[in-house]
Structure 1
Amino acid sequence: MSNPSSSAQPLISIDVRIEQVDIKGQYIQLAAPIHLSGQLHTSELQSQYGQTTKGAALPLQIGVDEAGRGPLLGSVNVAAALLPAAWSGLIEAQPLKDTPLSVLTDSKQLSEKKRDRLYPLVQQYAVGYIIAEIPAAVIDQINILQATMLGMRLCTEELLQAVAAHLTAVGHRFIEVLIDGNRCPDLDSGKLAKAGIAPAMLDCQAWVKGDGRHTSIAAASILAKVSRDKAMYELDAQYPEYGIAKHKGYPTRAHMAAVATLGVLPEHRRSFAPIRRALESE
C-alpha cells in the first residue's frame, strides 16, 4: 500500500476558542473558553475522498475519543480524526499494515514512548483532525459527562464543517462518526445542514472499547491522550512540588498528600469529591 504524501500540500489550520454553547436547548456562557485546534489536508481530502467508486462517493469515517475523565486536575481532552480511506476500518483487518501507523491501536495499550512517536505521525498522515481541551472550570460547570460529550460534539462538528467546505458534494456521501464509549453526543443537525451535510447521510455509532477496534478511533485516542499528557507536563513545570508529571492528575496517594500539604490549585476540578473535601477542610 502506498503512503499518502504529506509534503507540499495545502494545509488548513484550525484554531478556535468557544466561549458560548447551546447545551440541550440552553445557550450558556462557559466558565472558561474551550480551545479547538487541528488541521485539514485539503489536497489529500480531495485525492482520497473526491473520487467515486461505481458512481458512489466514498464514505467518510471519523473516529472520536477522549482522555482524562478520571483525573482530579486539568482538562479533559477530546479528539476527532479522519484517516486516508484505505487506512480506515477495523484494526483486525490490518488496513494500517505497511504504513507509518502500523503499530496504532488503543493508546492505553501502548507505552508512552510509542504514543509520543505516533502523535506527530497521526497529525502528519491524518487527512484531518481536531483536538479540544475542555478546562476544569467547564467540567465543574456542567459535569464531566456533559463536558466530555460537549467536547466530542464540538470536535465532530468542527471537523465536518471543515471537510464540507473543501469537499465537493459532501451532502451526497455517507459519513460515519465512530465514538469510543457507550453513547453519542447530540450533534447540531441544523449547523451541519447549513454546511451541506444532510442528517440522513450521517450515522453516529458508539463503540465500547472502540479505540481497540477502529483505526480512526485509535488515531483519535493518540491525539487526545498525548495532548493531555503535554498539558500535564506544562502544569508540572508550573507547579513542580505537586509531582504532576508522575500522577498526571489522577488521585494517587502522592497527589492527595500534595493537595493536603500545599492546597488546591486553580486547575483542580472542584466538583470532584476528593478536591471538594480538601476545600472544605481548608
Structure 2
Amino acid sequence: MSNPHIIENSATTIDLSIEQIDVKGQYIELAAPVHLSGQLNVSELLTQYSIALREGLESAVLQIGVDEAGRGPLLGSVNVASAILPAAWSGLIENQPLKDTPLSILTDSKQLSEKKRDVLYPLVQHHAIGYIVADVPAAVIDQINILQATMLGMRLCTEVLLKTIAPHLITDKSEPSNMQVQILFDGNRCPDLDEAMLIKAGIKTSAIDCQAWVKGDARHTSIAAASILAKVSRDKTMYALDAKHPKYGIAKHKGYPTRAHMETIEAYGVLPEHRRSFAPVRKVLEK
C-alpha cells in the first residue's frame, strides 16, 4: 500500500488506488483498482487529541464511523466512507451532540432528502477531522461478491485513515501510546483488519475496539457522517454514468433494479459497469 501524498500545511490529502490486497499473508490481485480519497485535518487532530493523549484523558478515545452505500444496485460501485468528527460532536444522535452546530440536521442519509444530503456533504468534508471514501468497482464486486467487496471497502477506509493518523499522534514508537480507537461499523459485522500493518504503523491492536452497529447510521453521529459521504459520492458517480449513457435513465434509478432499469438493459444491453454476478444482469447475459 503506497503512502498518501502529504501537503506541507495543516491538511493531509489522501488519494490512492489499491490494486492488490493482503489477506492473511496472501496477496490477491484485484480485478480493478479500488480508489480512496479523503483528507485529514492535522492541526485539528493535534489540537483535540495530542494533549488528551499525553495526559491519558478519556477524551483521547478516537471514534471513527464507517458506512456504505450501494450494496443493492445492479450497476456501478459500492462506496464506503469513514469519518472522524470533532470529539464534542461524536456521540449518540439521541443525545444531540450536533445541536447548534453546522451539522445539526445530520442523521441517517436514507432519512434525508437528496437536497439535504447535498447540503451536508461539503459541510461534513469541511468540519470532519478526517475522512476517506472508497470506491469499490463492479469488477471487484463480481470477483469477490458484494459482501466481501463491502467488507474490503470498510477495511481499506479504516486502515488508510489509521495509517495517516498514526505518525501525528504516535511520535515515539518505542514508548507505549495512550491512543485508543473505537471503530463503529454500520451493520452486523466488522471487517478483518490487517493487524501486521497496523502494528508496523505503531498502533497496538489491543488499542482498537471494533464495534458493529445495526442501523448505526441512525444512532451515532460519526456513522451518519460516513453515510452522507458514501451516499453522495456514489450518487455523483451515477450522474457521471448517466451523462455517459443517457439512454439508461441512471440519474433516476441510480442503478437499482427498477422496472425501467430492467427494460433498458433488455433494450440496449449490459454496460461494462453492470454487476455481472447479480442474477438479473446474469439472466440477460445468458439470453
TM-score, scaled to structure 1: 0.94
Q: Is the 8 A contact 2:170 2:202 kept in 1?
A: no
Cα gap change, 1:54/1:164 in structure 2, threshold over 3 Å: closer, same or farther?
closer
Q: Is the 8 A contact 1:171 1:201 kept in 2?
A: no
Q: Is the 8 A contact 2:53 2:179 kept in 1?
A: no
Is 1:278 matched up with 2:284? yes
- The CA distance in 1 between the partners of 2:104 and 2:92, in whole Å, is 13
Alpha-carbon deviation of 1:55? 2.9
- What is residue 5 of structure 1 aligned with on the other side? none
- What is residue 108 of structure 1 aligned with on the other side? 110
- The CA distance in 2 between the partners of 1:173 and 1:87, in whole Å, is 19
- The CA distance in 2 between the partners of 1:187 and 1:62, in whole Å, is 14
Consecutive unaligned residues of structure 2, counting only runs of 5 or more, are 1-8
- The CA distance in 2 between the partners of 1:74 and 1:24, in whole Å, is 28
- The CA distance in 1 between the partners of 2:10 and 2:56, in whole Å, is 26
**Percent of counterpart pairs with the same letter?**
72
- The CA distance in 1 between the partners of 2:198 and 2:124, in whole Å, is 26
- The CA distance in 2 between the partners of 1:166 and 1:77, in whole Å, is 27
- What is residue 231 of structure 2 aligned with on the other side? 225
CA displacement, residues 132-189 of structure 1 (integer Å, 9 cap, x when unaligned): 0000000000000000000000000000011102224594221100000000000011
Q: Is the 8 A contact 1:107 1:221 kept in 2?
A: yes
- What is residue 49 of structure 1 aligned with on the other side? 49
Alpha-carbon deviation of 1:196? 0.9
Q: Is the 8 A contact 1:177 1:205 kept in 2?
A: yes
Give the match's secondary structure for 1:49: helix
Give the match's secondary structure for 1:32: strand
Q: Is the 8 A contact 1:130 1:155 kept in 2?
A: yes
Cα gap change, 1:134/1:53 in structure 2, threshold over 3 Å: closer, same or farther?
closer
Q: Is the 8 A contact 1:36 1:132 kept in 2?
A: yes
Give the match's secondary structure for 2:134: strand
Equivalent runs, 1:55-134 vs 2, <5 Å: 55-57=55-57, 58-134=60-136
- The CA distance in 2 between the partners of 1:280 and 1:113, in whole Å, is 39
- What is residue 243 of structure 1 aligned with on the other side? 249
- What is residue 5 of structure 2 aligned with on the other side? none
Q: Is the 8 A contact 1:83 1:127 kept in 2?
A: yes
Consecutive unaligned residues of structure 1, counting only runs of 5 or more, are 1-8
- The CA distance in 1 between the partners of 2:230 and 2:86, in whole Å, is 19
Alpha-carbon deviation of 1:49? 1.1
Equivalent runs, 1:181-200 vs 2, <5 Å: 181-200=187-206
Give the match's secondary structure for 2:38: strand
Q: 2:262 aligns with which of 246, 249, 256?
A: 256
Cα gap change, 1:53/1:11 in structure 2, threshold over 3 Å: closer, same or farther?
closer
Give the match's secondary structure for 1:52: helix
Alpha-carbon deviation of 1:10? 1.4
- What is residue 163 of structure 1 aligned with on the other side? 165
- The CA distance in 2 between the partners of 1:171 and 1:228, in whole Å, is 37
CA displacement, residues 239-267 of structure 1 (integer Å, 9 cap, x when unaligned): 00000000000000000000000000000
Is 1:202 matched up with 2:175? no
Alpha-carbon deviation of 1:53? 7.9
- What is residue 23 of structure 2 aligned with on the other side? 23
- The CA distance in 2 between the partners of 1:21 and 1:219, in whole Å, is 27
- What is residue 152 of structure 1 aligned with on the other side? 154
Q: Is the 8 A contact 1:50 1:168 kept in 2?
A: no
Alpha-carbon deviation of 1:28? 0.9
Aligned residue-pair number: 273
One-letter amino acid matched to 2:75: L
Q: Is the 8 A contact 2:53 2:178 kept in 1?
A: no
Q: Is the 8 A contact 1:91 1:214 kept in 2?
A: yes
Equivalent runs, 1:131-146 vs 2, <5 Å: 131-146=133-148
Alpha-carbon deviation of 1:111? 0.3
- The CA distance in 2 between the partners of 1:127 and 1:159, in whole Å, is 11
